[in-house]
A = this chain, B = another copy of it.
Amino acid sequence: MSLINNLSTSMISSSSSAFLAPTSFNSSRTQNVSVKSLRIVKCITTPQEQQTAYKTKVSRNANIAKLQAGYLFPEVARRRAAHLLKYPNAQVISLGIGDTTEPIPDVITSAMAKRSHALSTLEGYSGYGAEQGEKALRAALASIFYGNLGIEEDDIFVSDGAKCDISRLQIVFGSNVTMAVQDPSYPAYVDSSVIMGQTGQFQKDVERFANIEYMRCTPENGFFPDLSNVGRPDIIFFCSPNNPTGAAATREQLTRLVQFAKENGSIIVYDSAYALYMSDENPRSIFEIPGAKEVAIETASFSKYAGFTGVRLGWTVVPKQLLFSDGFPVAKDFNRIVCTCFNGASNISQAGGLACLSPEGLEAMQEVIGFYKENTKIIVETFNSLGFKVYGGQNAPYVWVHFPGRNSWDVFSEILEKTHIVTTPGSGFGPGGEGFIRVSAFGHRENVLEACRRFRQLYN
């Protein structure tokens, strides 16, 4: 008997028995509690539903309840969807979430297709891989990105992306640590910190969570925080080149950051997901700074280099020299979490990653990066010519446009309403982003050009 027959027989018999033989507690089932379209509709429970719906006695996690609205990017997507409902024929251009748009070079996809086919052969099949990633990929990452920096193959943990690793790192740290983030910053740092219970409640007046150190990064300080004003944090999330401001820290600044961590016994989680977008001669890795291996973790990703946002592949470096206060290596606990809460990145994605690091793959990635950098230049020039003060763009695929004195969400809405272009409101990245809009350079060339034409129309 085929599986389909098995399945359908089982489904029919079971479901009929389920529906024909209601038990005593069946009456409390409420088919009318409907939360359709989880992604775009906020939860609304009417009093009537509350009367009839069965509730468990499990308390909602109070830390998750602290989170504000949706995670930023789904919220942007929700507003985009609402806009499309209002203007069904609008030619919406998305320069919001930072999603790659250009095809993956053939040398890389061919390697993934080859690995896929190989999985159908006895010789080429592989099951569970090492949770930490395939040896060849870890070795290639070590040699290409950390050649002379003393980072070894076994310091590198391959993952399904930087966002996922940030969450796993937070599990390692637990709830009893204090956290500092750049303000503005990529929202996953703060949100994961809230989820793990490291913070207090959200304080609406200052738009911050209690017990997080928000290190303000503004044009005035060159987007590098004034560390003399920062209290001792256990963990410092630091992203360079920065998402969203596009600012890249210099060697001198990173040296100060490492020194600050060393003096305070802090751990830096350095997000280098945009390192290869660097044009200036700044460090590509925190491990270029002497002493960093004793105070820093680095997380990185293929997403923005090879268009792997959907393929999912990244890595995190946890040097064996990094120790907790009791001398226990952080890498041992990260390894334990990777083994317990994760099962390795897809073997097909890993084949793609290995192809990225071949000589042809490296050249192909460089072309992808070059394409988006050209987009960035076009966007920067457009806003400059319109008289806006513009930051970023030189070392990152993000342009950080200043709208002094204006509310970010208002500007976001104005742009969306009048030009059908989706951007990201700066305040979504923290209170320090208020008055800014992030424009992503990820898009087809014709869309970027068309968007710039519309920006000119709106703001000329």
Contact = CB atoms under 8 A, between A and B. Distances in A.
30 contacts: A3-B363, A4-B359, A8-B147, A11-B146, A14-B285, A15-B288, A17-B288, A25-B259, A33-B323, A38-B320, A39-B130, A54-B262, A56-B322, A57-B325, A58-B177, A58-B324, A61-B174, A64-B174, A74-B131, A99-B127, A101-B125, A103-B120, A104-B119, A112-B116, A113-B117, A119-B311, A126-B310, A161-B343, A164-B341, A167-B342
A12 B366 contact: no
Interface stretch (A218-226, A241-249, A326-334, A429-437): A326-334
A200 interface: no
Interface in A50-97: 50, 53-65, 67, 70-71, 73-74, 97
A188 interface: yes
A188 B342 CA distance: 10
Contacts of A4: 359, 362-363, 366
A206 interface: no
A262 B55 CA distance: 9
How many identical subunits does the complex contain? 2
Nearest to A55: B323
A398 to B, nearest CB: 16
A447 interface: no
Contact size class for A?
35 or more
Contacts of A326: 55, 59-60
Contact of A35 (B16, B39, B114, B332): B332
Given A74-B339, A103-B122, A267 B56 contact: yes
A96 to B, nearest CB: 11
Interface stretch (A289-297, A381-389, A404-412, A449-457): A289-297
A49 B395 CA distance: 40
A298 interface: no
A61 to B, nearest CB: 4
